């Protein structure tokens, strides 16, 4: 089936209505009338009165007294103002005269004050000069009296003082004074410095010894017979610490050596025996030797 496009062939049949043209013209608009004035609504009651015609105000008759009063008052006020201005002018002139007199009087007072000030300053200067002169004379007199007293009292005192100082040995020989004041303080200061250096080095040495003894805590000593037999013995190891003394070594030897009854620690360099209070590490373990004496057989 094929769709046929009917809109290309169909026409609409419409009835046409009959019509005619008509026209009309209206008048122009009239002006709007003004609104009536607003009259508020009456309240209350209306009242009225009747006045006699003889009592009604007449301008030509009744204005003359008012004008007379107004003109009289105006003229009177003007005269008062003029008189007041004249009085003010006179007062200002009088004031200017009084001020001028006051200025003249102040100038005179100022001149008198300056004169009195100059006179007072001159008197004060003379008084100060007199006081200073009197003080100088008094000072000179005191110095003279003091010198006379000194001459009188100190006559022969110098020899006495020098003799007493010589007897008490207050006067020292220049060489001994130089030794006491210069040389000995220098020696003491240098000694203190050396002692400080020695203490510092000793502290450093002790610290190093502590480090060494932490790593190596035992030392082996060789012992030689005190009877010169030539036989050597080995003892040890002995536990050491930085504070170990010869006394502790002797105590340890007496406890651990069974063949000897007397133990002595000596310096290998000089052969001298050490003091029991001597520190081991202040000497050096390589310089410490040990001797003992055998027990006698009974």
- Reading the chain (298 residues) residue by residue, the pLDDT tens digits are 677 777 777 666 677 777 888 888 787 877 888 888 888 888 888 888 887 777 777 788 888 888 899 999 999 999 999 999 999 999 999 999 999 999 999 999 999 999 999 999 999 999 999 999 999 999 898 888 888 887 777 777 777 776 777 677 666 666 767 777 778 888 888 888 888 888 888 788 777 766 665 554 445 455 544 444 555 556 666 666 667 777 777 777 777 765 555 677 777 777 777 777 877 766 666 667 776 665 554 4
- pLDDT for 237 equals 64
Cis peptide before 206 (omega within 30 of 0): no
How far, in whole angstroms, is CA 37 from its chain's centroid? 88
Q: Could you identify the residue written with the tokens 């026409």?
A: 11
Side-chain half-sphere CA neighbours of 40 within 13 A: 3
N-terminal to C-terminal alpha carbon distance within the chain: 162
Neighbours of 133 (CB within 10 A): 10
Whether this prediction's pTM lies above 0.75 is answered by no
Rounded Cα gap, residues 71 and 65, in angstroms? 10
- pLDDT for 234 equals 60
CB contact at 8 A, 276 and 231: no
Q: Could you identify the residue written with the tokens 């190596």?
A: 216
Q: Is 138 exposed, middle or buried (0-12, 13-18, 19+ CB in 10 A)?
A: exposed
Torsion of CA 244, 250, 255, 260, to 10 degrees: 150
Total residue length of the chain: 298
């Amino acid at each position: 089936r094929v769709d046929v496009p009917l809109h290309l062939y169909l026409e609409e049949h419409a009835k046409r209505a009959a019509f005619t043209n008509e026209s009309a013209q209206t008048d122009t608009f009239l002006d709007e009338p003004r609104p009536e004035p607003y009259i508020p609504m009456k309240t209350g009651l209306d009242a009225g009165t009747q006045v006699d015609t003889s009592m009604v105000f007449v301008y030509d008759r009744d204005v003359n007294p008012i004008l007379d009063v107004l003109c009289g008052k105006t003229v009177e006020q003007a005269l008062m103002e003029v008189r007041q201005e004249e009085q003010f002018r006179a007062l200002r002139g009088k004031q200017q005269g009084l001020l001028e007199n006051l200025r003249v009087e102040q100038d005179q007072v100022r001149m008198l004050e300056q004169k009195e000030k100059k006179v007072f300053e001159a008197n004060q200067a003379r008084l100060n000069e007199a006081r200073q002169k009197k003080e100088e004379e008094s000072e000179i007199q005191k110095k003279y009296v003091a010198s006379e007293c000194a001459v009188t009292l100190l006559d022969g005192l110098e020899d006495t003082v020098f003799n007493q100082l010589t007897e008490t040995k207050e006067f020292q020989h220049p060489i001994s004074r130089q030794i006491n004041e210069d040389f000995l303080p220098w020696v003491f200061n240098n000694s203190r410095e050396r002692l400080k250096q020695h203490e510092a080095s000793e502290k450093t040495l002790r610290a190093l010894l502590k480090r060494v003894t932490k790593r190596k805590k035992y030392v082996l000593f060789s012992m030689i017979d005190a009877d010169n037999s030539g036989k050597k013995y080995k003892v040890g190891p002995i536990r050491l610490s930085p504070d170990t003394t010869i006394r502790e070594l002797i105590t340890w030897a007496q406890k651990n050596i069974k063949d000897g009854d007397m133990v002595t620690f000596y310096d290998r360099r000089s052969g001298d025996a050490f003091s029991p209070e001597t520190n081991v590490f202040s000497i050096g373990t390589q310089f410490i030797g040990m001797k003992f004496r055998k027990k006698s057989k009974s």
